[in-house]
Amino acid sequence: MSEISENVVPVPIIPAIPIPPKRKILILSASPKRDLLIDNMLADKLRALGNEVEVKACLREGRQAVLAFQPDIVIVPPIRNPYARDLAETIKKFGARCITRHTEPSCDWDDFKKMNNQEKASILGPIPYVVDAEIVWGPDEAEILQRRGCQFPIYGVGSFSTDKYLTLTEKDCISKEELQKLHKLDPAKKTITILSAWGFADSAPDLQIDEIKDASKDELGRAQWLKMIIDVYDTLKTEYNILVSLHPNVLLEPYEKALTPLGIPIDKDCRSIDLIMNSDIVIHAGSTSGIGAHFLNKVAFQYGDQNKKTGNWWDKSDSMISKVSPYCATTYDLINAIKNCVLGKSNASADTLLALERGRYGLMDGHATDRAAQIVHNMLPSKFNYFWPDGNKDYSQIGIIKSPAAIVDQARCGICNRDIFVVKQSWVDMLQNAFKLPKFKIMGMMACPHCGSRIFGGDE
């Protein structure tokens, strides 16, 4: 793909600054199956620059990892919900630098200009947050996000996913023999790998929030996808091995229920690059994996369109990512395309790849992790300082309190106009219960402690 990257202006890198030769950097990975490979590549680049680096899972384990490693810099996934924002705020309270790295491309200027205000608000972020830097894919996205008026820099470094396809070799991946043994594939047959779509269908339900529930249900698309798999298997099983891979976080049960009785294997562990590297044909629904198949010189076809989802900004029929591979509208078209394809040669659209590189994805030259590592390495030094986190309840006791508001209400004398503080009856009741004192009410005749004017009267 060098002929594509040569037509794109390289991403500028901030100049190097004098920094300590070694700092502790923690990378929190969003998805072990999808993102860990890139996070490990980034970690290796940072280690080569003289830093001490650890990579840990983010969801449910991020805070513990920060406390255990006590880093100077933490790289977190994109901040799109309150959980992620709270984690970033906690990291900064510890004194560490916090950098967010986007794991997927977003939009370019052409996409953004076509959006309505609600869609633009979704791109700019549903919640405000503060980090030390944000690293995204395309230069357009970096410029668009900078419109939020945030005080931290945003850098477009290029397509992270492309790095693995341009730098890893067969020796870095599971071998074809291992894959065949793992899924009982026939060595005499070619292999079709079907990369399942509908990646938000079952994503982290225990952490799900209302704002993303509309995007998390794709049952109709999944049903059509399962029918396609079965039709392809029934028609081509004598010529091809059929292997199905699930998108990260997709619920396994619907696929097992439909496919396992037919003997169609479902991969649960391998990385997408392992599967594409050892396949002859790839079927996807408008995925970055289609670009990966191109870089590995594999044939790829698109069936269905996961980029056309009602209620999202990419709800349109001309999504550029859905033009990389030849599109098949029906299973009949897909099967005929497979029967007539030329194996061992990419069938991707070069014009579409160039358009993606100039816009949404940024440079596809295999060096996005190099550029990201340099940005992190150039970050001004900081120092982790452990602090005891606030509790989520009031631990006040009889002899020591968190706030005076637990004991008194503030008021103002109507005569001398000075502040006065009225002891709460609830506090008196608590003291009476604690020390087994006789019950009494405090609201009898009362006077201002400053001027002596009567404030309350009665025979309480």
Question: In this predicted model, what pLDDT tens digit does every residue of 145-164 receive, in sequence order?
Answer: 988 888 899 999 999 999 99
| pLDDT value, residue 204 | 47
23 vs 183 pLDDT, higher one? 183
pLDDT tens-digit series, residues 290-337: 899 999 999 999 998 776 654 444 445 567 888 899 999 999 999 999
Same domain, 146 and 15: yes
Question: How many distinct helices (H) and strands (E) make up the chain?
Answer: 18, 16
CA dist 255 and 219 (Å) reads: 12
Rounded to whole angstroms, the Cα distance separating 398 from 378 reads: 51
Based on the domain organization, do 336 and 417 belong to the same domain? no
Q: What pLDDT score was predicted for residue 273?
A: 92
Q: How far apart are CA 61 and CA 43, in angstroms?
A: 18
Q: Is residue 187 in a domain?
A: yes
* CB neighbourhood size of 166 (10 A): 18
26 falls within a domain: yes
User: What is the distance between the alpha carbons of residues 185 and 265, in angstroms, rounded to a whole number?
Assistant: 9
Identify the residue whose tokens are 């999504």: 319
Same domain, 25 and 146: yes
Residue 7 has pLDDT above 70, yes or no: no
Whole-number pLDDT of residue 310: 45
Assess if residue 384 is contained within a domain.
no
113 and 239 share one domain = no
- Whether residue 151 sits in one domain with residue 75: yes
Q: Are 56 and 81 in contact (CB under 8 A)?
A: no
> Is 220 part of a structural domain of the chain?
yes
Of the chain, the percentage scoring pLDDT greater than 70 comes to: 84
List helix spans (H) across 94-218. Answer: 109-113, 117-124, 139-146, 160-167, 176-183, 210-213
Backbone angles phi, psi at 202, to 5 degrees: -135, 30
Burial of 76 (0-12, 13-18, 19+ CB in 10 A): buried
The CA radius of gyration of the chain, in Å to the nearest whole number, is 29
Q: How far from 162 is each of 9, 61, 107, 131, 138, CA to CA, in Å?
A: 17, 28, 17, 26, 13
Q: Give Cα 43 to chain centroid, integer Å.
A: 18
* 412: pLDDT strictly greater than 70: yes
pLDDT, position 460: 39
pLDDT in the model for residue 307: 66
> How would you label 189-218 residue by residue, b for 16+ Cβ within 10 Å and e otherwise?
bebbbbbbbbbbbbbbeeeeeeeeeeebeb
344 and 201, same domain (yes or no): yes
Does residue 37 contact residue 164 with C-beta atoms inside 8 Å? yes
Residue 31 is predicted with a pLDDT of: 82
- Residue 346's pLDDT band, with cuts at 50, 70 and 90, is very high
279 and 187 co-located in one domain: yes
Say which residues have a Cβ less than 8 Å from residue 242's Cβ, sequence separation at least 6: 191, 192, 194, 229, 232, 233, 236, 264, 265
Contact of 87 with 76, CB cutoff 8 Å: yes
Question: Does 53 map to a domain?
Answer: yes
Total structural domains within the chain: 3
Domain membership flag for residue 215: yes
Domain with 333, as residue range(s), is: 174-350
Tokens 């953004």 sit at which residue?
112
Q: pLDDT, tens digit, for every residue of 78-126?
A: 998 888 999 999 999 999 999 999 998 888 888 888 888 888 887 887 7
Averaged pLDDT, 267-284:
93
The rounded distance, in Å, linking the Cα atoms of 282 and 324 is 13
**Interval 10-49: pLDDT, tens:** 555 555 555 555 789 999 999 877 899 999 999 999 999 9
Q: What is the DSSP letter of 173?
A: S
Is residue 203 scored above 50 in pLDDT? no
pLDDT in tens, 353-380: 999 999 899 999 999 999 999 999 999 8
User: Whole-prediction pTM value?
Assistant: 0.74
Q: What is the CATH number of the domain that holds 105?
A: 3.40.50.2300
Which among 394, 420, 417, 379 is positioned nearest to 20, based on CA atoms? Answer: 379
Q: Is residue 167 part of a domain?
A: no
Mean residue pLDDT across the chain: 85
Residue 27, both tokens: 């990378």
Residue 177 CB burial class (10 angstroms; 0-12, 13-18, ≥19): exposed
Look at residue 80 and tell me if it is in a domain: yes
208 pLDDT more than 80: no
Whether residues 317 and 427 fall in one domain: no
CA distance 312 to 296: 31
Give the residue with greater pLDDT, 232 vs 458: 232
Same domain assignment for residues 322 and 411:
no
- The SS3 of residue 191 is strand
Q: 75 and 147, same structural domain? A: yes
CA distance 164 to 166: 6
C-alpha atoms less than 13 angstroms from C-alpha of 458 in its C-beta half-sphere? 7
The listed range with the strongest mean pLDDT (155-159, 410-414, 435-439) is 155-159
CATH code (residue 178)? 3.40.50.2000
Q: Are residues 255 and 209 in the same domain?
A: yes
Of the pLDDT bands very low, low, confident and very high (cuts 50, 70, 90), residue 205 is: very low
Residue 220 or residue 446, greater confidence: 446
| Range of weakest confidence among 194-198, 328-332, 349-353 | 194-198
| Residues 235-263 pLDDT 10s | 999 999 999 998 766 778 889 999 999 99
Q: DSSP 3-state helix, strand, coil percentages of the chain (rounded to 5)?
A: 40, 15, 45
CA–CA gap between residue 405 and residue 403 (Å, rounded): 5
- Looking at the structure, tell me whether residues 331 and 185 fall in a common domain: yes
